[in-house]
Amino acid sequence: MLEAFVLATMLFGFFGIIFKKNLVMKIISMDIMSTGVIAYYVLVASRDGLFTPIIAKANQVSYADPVPQAVILTAIVIGFSIQALMLVCVMKLAKDNPTLETSAIEENNTP
């Protein structure tokens, strides 16, 4: 059931990127899609019965792999920086164009 919600989040973001015409809405849709991908990765990587990889007195226990956590943190930071860069580009486009609709921007910038 949880996998279906995560898949629906990814699909809503994907269809938002395709069907929305406003550039800000496209950026928000991309953020929703990347949130769904990260949530799916966390869902797949999570397993019950694993301990944190901290040196302790316990021997012969199963430890969780810390690499997926590092990958997810890196993906979140990169996603945030890409989103900030795209918003700056949209702000630059907004100075030259009266609207943020993709069709109007294409009409204004075609030679």
How many CB atoms are closer than 10 A to CB 26?
A: 19
The number of helices, as runs of H, and strands, as runs of E, in the chain is: 4, 0
Classify residue 110: in a domain, yes or no: no
Note the pLDDT of residue 84. 96
Mean pLDDT by 10 residues, the chain (111 residues): 92 95 94 93 78 70 79 93 95 86 82 74
Classify residue 26: in a domain, yes or no: yes
Residue located via tokens 């849709």: 29
**Residue ranges making up the domain that contains 39:** 2-101
Q: What are phi and psi of 107, to 5 degrees?
A: -70, -40
What is the domain-level CATH number for residue 56?
1.10.287.3510
Residue located via tokens 């030259």: 96
Note the pLDDT of residue 81. 96
CA 16 vs. chain centroid, Å, equals 13
| Number of structural domains found in the chain | 1
Classify residue 107: in a domain, yes or no: no
Note the pLDDT of residue 58. 65
Note the pLDDT of residue 37. 93
